[in-house]
Amino acid sequence: MYGGGSGTHQSKREMSLEYQAQISILRPSIRARRANMTVKFQDVHGFTVEGNVDDVNVLNEVREKLRQQCRVWWALEANKGVNWYLETHVSSTLKSSLKFSALVNAITLKRLIKKGIPLNFRPKVWFSLSGAAKKKSTVPDSYYNDMTSAVFDMVTPATKQIDQDLPRTFPGHPWLDTSDGHSALRRVLVAYSFRDSDVGYCQGLNYVAALLLLVMKTEEDAFWMLAVLLENVLFNDCYTYNLSGCHVDQRVFRDLLAKKCPRIATHLEGIDFDVSLVCTEWFLCLFSKSLPSETTLRVWDILFYEGANVLFNVALAIFKMNEEELLVTHQVGDVINVIQKTTHHLFDPDELLTVAFDKIGFTTTTTISKQRKKQEPAVMAELDQRLRRLNSLHENGDEN
Amino acid sequence: MASSGNKNINAKLVLLGDVATGKSSLVLRFVKGQFVEFQESTIGAAFFSQTVAVNDATVKFEIWDTAGQERYHSLAPMYYRGAAAAIIVYDITNQASFDRAKKWVQELQAQGNPNMVMALAGNKSDLLDARKVAAEEAQTYAQENGLFFMETSAKTATNVNDVFYEIAKRLPRLQQAPNPSGMVLVDRPADRATGASCCS
């Protein structure tokens, strides 16, 4: 939709279609300006969002930037070849065979990804750069179809939970909330629950898989993206039976916030606000329930390229952007309001990503891994202790 | 609002219960007066607040609506820590959710704030034909364990506000007040009575 067409005629036609779309969005907003109220409209991925005139204008600017980026990507393809962005693996090849062009491509790619991958490039760029393509290539072509047909009528705790969640995943979305959308999401989640029995199905993945379906267009590609995400991109214990990885991430994040935003951390601690109260959902849904859809996908652009550290940087940025407001909060509710007001209205991805990657010192995945290793024993001990305490409670309860 | 003798209390309240028992729907009904057939599944927990007036006091509930899936239970202590009240929710059409509710009660009794006001809510009371848990059974259980019990329906709004109001009435109010600005502890008479005149 956003790709400049192959000929001038086509791109003009697309431009005019885009223009009409903008007018239909702007029309209620002009009235809204007079009434100074919020309007509901559909964003580029079909989600209904509420916002004021400024938000609508920001969204239109974002669309315009997407169009510009699209032209850049087309031009690069024309110059460097269709798969130019795959020839960037400087780190994985021997230094001696390092080619200058690969290095140039790597720098270009990194910069481009920060600016956002255009909608029609996203499926193939994500699929290649995340490692999903490689993962898929190691199994027979029929893997996904065999899997879905083998397990479609099986009933497990995971499938029961998945069935409950299908109509509860972005209800009201024009495609996800249809029988086609539900069936596709079901097949992806059920197939994955059988592929990885440690994870099975964890609530939260419904939102992640739903967005993957919207971006990737095909179920099979969405399935492989989910697989590479859980098995390679993220730390592999995040969604397991006791969410131990999630506990670890929260501890690491708390320390990181204390280091990078000490004033905020001290203040929140002073009013007894545990940042995990808001961060847990961010990390488990990869922001898909908190940020506007295109902003979420812009975070994912970088996530699939750089790794799980991106989640930490973005979470830090959300706090950092609200520093002054957060410092005058007194109650839990105030903090939540400040944070939610920001996340729900972050229609301009660059506003967030600039803070996340330019203003806060970058945190690498290696640093996060090290910190996670440090926290793991304490988390395991805590979870184990809780389990033992509950078991003894239940045993006593059953005896009575 | 009357300025004399009024008390403003903040009370942290947590909802716990099995998946899809209607925790979020109860909150949505209480806070916004709305009901939707398919409520988004809650991840981690969601925060809401709502203020009610009981007698001469207002109670501002800070509500943590938690995720129901089993693996999320390890996060629960973060939400019930320091809570003044809890609503443990089960679905009257689902026996397993009632069993799960009992486990929550045990956990809160052992780990939660000892003065916590606990309510047991048998939700989806509009689905009488599909009932699996008898009201008498739940009532008996609640009595034995020091909870108060109501069957609720977020869909029809039956008893939803009532649960929250009943909790508000039962809060050991003055102990919970975190607001330091000029609060006078009425039930501590002699020692500083004359000087503390800010509320008169």
State the CATH number of the domain containing residue A171.
1.10.8.270
What is the number of CB-based contacts under 8 A between chain A and chain B?
91
- What's the CATH architecture for B7-169? 3-Layer(aba) Sandwich (3.40)
Predicted confidence (pLDDT) at residue A35 exceeds the cutoff of 80: no
Please give the distance of CA B15 from its chain centroid, rounded to a whole number.
6
Among A264-268, A374-378, B52-56, B127-131, the range scoring the smallest mean pLDDT is: B52-56
- Whether A128 maps to a domain, the answer reads no
Predicted confidence (pLDDT) at residue A330 exceeds the cutoff of 80: yes
Please give the distance of CA A271 from its chain centroid, rounded to a whole number.
30
Judge whether B75 is closer than 8 Å to chain A, CB to CB.
Answer: yes
Q: Tell me which chain A residues have a C-beta less than 8 angstroms from the C-beta of B71.
A: 202, 240-243
The DSSP element (H or E) to which B134 belongs, if any, is none
Question: In terms of domains, do A392 and A261 share one?
Answer: yes
- Whether A134 maps to a domain, the answer reads no
Q: What does the mean pLDDT of chain A come to?
A: 87
- Whether A66 maps to a domain, the answer reads yes
What's the rounded Cα separation, in Å, for the pair B128 and A324?
Answer: 52
Here the CATH number for the domain that contains residue A355 is 1.10.472.80
| Count of domains forming chain A | 3
A383 by DSSP, 3-state: which?
helix
Question: In terms of domains, do A168 and A274 share one?
Answer: no
- Hunting for tokens 């809780």 — which residue is that? A386
Taking CB atoms and an 8 Å limit, are B41 and A169 in contact across chains?
Answer: yes
* Mean pLDDT along residues A359-378: 90
pLDDT reported for residue A81: 86
What single letter denotes the amino acid at residue A370? K
Out of A171, A243, A389, name the one closest to residue B74 (CB): A243
Question: In terms of domains, do A301 and A359 share one?
Answer: yes
Question: In terms of domains, do A115 and A161 share one?
Answer: no
Q: Tokens at residue A16, please? A: 């005019």
Out of A161, A276, A285, name the one closest to residue B43 (CB): A285
Residue ranges per structural domain of chain B: 7-169
**Residue B90, strand partner residues:** B122
pLDDT reported for residue A31: 52
Out of A168, A242, A332, name the one closest to residue B62 (CB): A332
Predicted confidence (pLDDT) at residue A159 exceeds the cutoff of 90: yes
What's the rounded Cα separation, in Å, for the pair B52 and B153?
Answer: 20
Q: Tell me which chain B residues have a C-beta less than 8 angstroms from the C-beta of A244.
A: 74
Do the Cβ atoms of A2 and A66 come closer than 8 Å?
yes
pLDDT digits 0-9 by tens, A111-139: 999 999 999 999 999 999 999 999 999 99
**Residue B88, strand partner residues:** B16, B120
Question: In terms of domains, do A316 and A278 share one?
Answer: yes
Judge whether A330 is closer than 8 Å to chain B, CB to CB.
Answer: no
Taking CB atoms and an 8 Å limit, are A389 and B102 in contact across chains?
Answer: no
Give me the tens of pLDDT residue by residue for chain B, a chain 200 residues long: 333 346 889 999 999 999 999 999 999 999 999 999 999 999 999 999 999 999 888 999 999 999 999 999 999 999 999 999 999 999 999 999 999 999 999 999 998 889 999 999 999 999 999 999 999 999 999 999 999 999 999 999 999 999 999 999 999 864 444 444 434 444 433 333 333 333 33
Question: In terms of domains, do A113 and A176 share one?
Answer: no
What's the rounded Cα separation, in Å, for the pair B75 and B22?
Answer: 19
Among A38-42, A228-232, A236-240, the range scoring the smallest mean pLDDT is: A38-42
- Predicted-complex ipTM score: 0.83
pLDDT digits 0-9 by tens, A163-174: 999 999 999 999
Domain that holds residue A202: 143-231
Do the Cβ atoms of B84 and B113 come closer than 8 Å?
yes
Among A29-38, A192-201, A226-235, the range scoring the smallest mean pLDDT is: A29-38
- Whether A3 maps to a domain, the answer reads no
pLDDT digits 0-9 by tens, A61-83: 988 998 999 999 999 999 988 88
Query: What contacts A311, CB < 8 A, 6 or more positions away?
Result: A249, A282, A283, A286, A287, A299, A303
- Whether A9 maps to a domain, the answer reads no
Question: In terms of domains, do A285 and A366 share one?
Answer: yes
Question: In terms of domains, do A50 and A148 share one?
Answer: no
Question: In terms of domains, do A148 and A282 share one?
Answer: no
pLDDT reported for residue A75: 93
Taking CB atoms and an 8 Å limit, are A280 and B45 in contact across chains?
Answer: yes
- Domain boundary, last residue among A203, A231, A259: A231
pLDDT reported for residue A18: 42
Judge whether A252 is closer than 8 Å to chain B, CB to CB.
Answer: no
Question: In terms of domains, do A85 and A156 share one?
Answer: no
Out of B47, B67, B77, name the one closest to residue A333 (CB): B47
pLDDT digits 0-9 by tens, A350-362: 999 999 998 887 7
Q: Tokens at residue B87, please? A: 């609503």
Question: In terms of domains, do A161 and A260 share one?
Answer: no
- Whether A275 maps to a domain, the answer reads yes
Judge whether A331 is closer than 8 Å to chain B, CB to CB.
Answer: yes
pLDDT digits 0-9 by tens, A279-323: 999 999 999 999 999 999 999 999 999 999 999 999 999 999 999
- Whether A237 maps to a domain, the answer reads no
Question: In terms of domains, do A289 and A318 share one?
Answer: yes
What's the rounded Cα separation, in Å, for the pair A274 and A261?
Answer: 15
Please give the distance of CA A23 from its chain centroid, rounded to a whole number.
29
pLDDT digits 0-9 by tens, A87-102: 776 555 555 455 677 8
More confident residue, A178 or B184: A178
